Amino acid sequence: MGAQSCPESPNWRPCAQATNLDVYATIARPLVAPALSGISGTVFAYGVTSSGKTHTMLGGYVEGFGAEPGAWGRGQAHAWQGRAAGQAALTR
């Protein structure tokens, strides 16, 4: 699950072609179930001005693709779905 790391990256970081879903699935999704169990988790976006931090975290409109939710919205949706279906649903 998730995007492939850029070959030149020493740690995982998304390549230019990574989508918000790739970033969410790789970085934020694994934090949802532990957070609902009381364990703190943080997703911190940093970078130069206009590098896409707000778009990645909050989402936005992408020409030709329509609305693309960010990590924050996807995490909330995942958490509510998991709570409605029980904790086991969060690990899927």
Please report the pLDDT score of residue 2 as a whole number. Answer: 47
Residue 1 lies in a domain: no
- The total of structural domains in the chain comes to 1
Range of the domain at 47: 20-91
Residue 2 lies in a domain: no
Residues sharing a CB contact under 8 Å with residue 61, sequence separation 6 or more, in sequence order = 67, 68
d(CA 53, CA 60): 11
| 25-81 residue pLDDT tens | 888 899 888 888 889 988 888 889 988 888 888 888 877 767 888 888 898 888 888
Residue 59 lies in a domain: yes
User: Which of 72, 62, 77 is closest to 19 using CA atoms?
Assistant: 62
Q: What is the pTM of this model?
A: 0.66
